[in-house]
Structure 1
Amino acid sequence: MSFRSDTRGIGVAKLFFTIVTGVGLGLSLGTAFLIVRGPFFGGPALDPFLMMGVLAVFIVGILVVSWGTTRLFGVGASA
């Protein structure tokens, strides 16, 4: 099954991977703010258990944005 066969407009696959990339970017930016809020912006630091959860979501966000970006631009795909 080829995801690149849609030649009309932006394509459903490109739209999907753009949304996936945006969600991953939002996850990583939102959780990065929560991680650095305490030490750099003068806010309270998160509790250790919550900080580990935020760090896990940050790593998932980085994985999602990298997967979505590579699929969007066709990195590693054969022509």
Structure 2
Amino acid sequence: MSFRNDTRGIGVAKLFFTIVTGVGLGLSLGTAFLIVRGPFFGGPALDPFPMMGVLAVFIVGILVVSWGTTRLFGVGTTA
């Protein structure tokens, strides 16, 4: 049985890419809250060095969401 052609149930590949998408979404939403917390919610803004770290994790989260979603829905694969 091929990893890509698992047609029983949800499939190992779909389950994996669903988890990957969820992790990326959690990273993106969590860091987005830290970024907008100061200017929009009245909280303290982060210092410059932690803000750069949060921005880097936010970008990684967006990349992980994009990769997981495209793999989950099979974008760019042949039928």
Asked whether the two chains share a fold, i.e. TM above 0.5, the reply is yes
- List alignment gaps of at least 5 residues for structure 1: none
| Total equivalences in the alignment | 79
Q: Map Cα deviations across residues 17-64 of structure 1 (whole Å, 9 max, x no partner).
A: 000000000000000000000000000000000000000000000000
Q: Which residue of 1 aligns with 2:39?
A: 39
Task: Give me the CA root mean square deviation.
Answer: 1.3
Q: Secondary structure at the match of 2:75?
A: coil
Q: CA deviation at 1:4?
A: 2.6
Cα gap change, 1:76/1:69 in structure 2, threshold over 3 Å: closer, same or farther?
Answer: same
**TM-score where L is the length of structure 1:** 0.96
Find the aligned partners of 2:76 and 2:3 in 1 and give their Cα distance. Answer: 14
Structure 2: runs of 5+ lacking an equivalent: none
| Percent identity for Structure 1 against Structure 2 | 95
- Deviation at 1:2? 5.3
Distance, in Å, in 2 between the alignment partners of 1:38 and 1:22 is: 26
Structure 2 residue 65 is the aligned partner of structure 1 residue 75: no
